Amino acid sequence: MPAVLSSRQIQEALADLPGWTHAHAKLLRTYHFKDFAAALVFINQVGALAESHGHHPEIHNIWNKVGLSLTTHDAGNQVTEKDVALARALSSLVSS
């Protein structure tokens, strides 16, 4: 089971993850796009990246907005380094 990060460790990680927040034992970020089609392209990129990491976010889409939630289910739905690593990788997809 992956080690759960402390609040301090999460805050330190967030310092290098612009746009990401921590709430309800999850790392959260909402991306905004010009339209639904652009949001879907991003969702597909997220899916491919998540597969390569073997770690999958919750994805919420409303028209041009894509919300991502990261938590590690096998660590009791808490934030672990797996979430931080995926957040870093996801941040490299777009700068919005």
| Contact of 92 with 45, CB cutoff 8 Å | no
- What average pLDDT does range 47-69 have in this prediction? 97
Is pLDDT above 50 for 53?
A: yes
Q: CB atoms < 10 A from the CB of 93, how many?
A: 13
Q: Mention every residue, 6+ apart, whose C-beta is less than 8 A from residue 38.
A: 64
The residues facing 69 across adjacent strands are: 28, 58
| Contact of 69 with 26, CB cutoff 8 Å | yes
pLDDT at 96: 44
pLDDT at 95: 57
Percent of the chain whose pLDDT exceeds 90: 91
Q: CB atoms < 10 A from the CB of 34, how many?
A: 9
**DSSP label at residue 74:** G
Is pLDDT above 80 for 18?
A: yes
pLDDT classification of 24: cutoffs 50, 70, 90: very high
Single-letter residue type at 36: F
Tell me the whole-structure pTM to 2 decimals.
0.92
- What average pLDDT does range 31-46 have in this prediction? 97
Domains in the chain, please, with CATH? 7-91 (3.30.1360.20)
Report the mean per-residue pLDDT for the chain. Answer: 95
Is pLDDT above 80 for 83?
A: yes
